[in-house]
Amino acid sequence: MALRARSRALIGALLLGAATAHAGASETVACHVTYGGETKTVEARPTTSPYTVAPIKFGSYLLFRIVFRNEPADLASIKLYTYAQHADVDGRPLIHQATYAYPPVPAGAYGFTGLNHAYEPRYGLVLDYWCELREAISK
């Protein structure tokens, strides 16, 4: 009888693990980005190729990038980057970077990041954002 109970417990744990892994696959990171008085929500699904994730342009000089990895467990994280883009500078100078463990811990009214402000020093530009983890909407 004890063997049967342990078997059921093991099967239950395996099913819970499979359900949790599946739930992670259907999540997105949604960031609410405000620039120039306008707020846009940008989303990112998990990726296995973080170096191929393209940034999103805001205005003429700012770029925002979300890199969401939910596996493997030792690399799982959410990384957020803000870059400046100037014609006279090679590359894209990084002006802000934040890393959060996956799964993230909610920080209150402003998702898991809290409210962040990234400042571009040359032109005095400000990009505000906060991010949350949400279930992906099936399309």
Tens-digit pLDDT profile for residues 109-122 = 999 999 999 999 99
Rounded-to-integer distance, Cα 47 and Cα 63, Å: 19
DSSP 52: G
pLDDT tens per residue across span 9-20: 444 433 334 333
| Cβ–Cβ < 8 Å for 137, 131 | no
pTM for this prediction: 0.79
Res 2: pLDDT: 54
pLDDT band at 87 (very low <50, low <70, confident <90, very high): confident
Q: Going by DSSP bridges, is the β-strand pair 116-120/77-84 parallel, antiparallel, or unpaired?
A: unpaired
Hey, which residues does 135 pair with through a beta bridge? 27
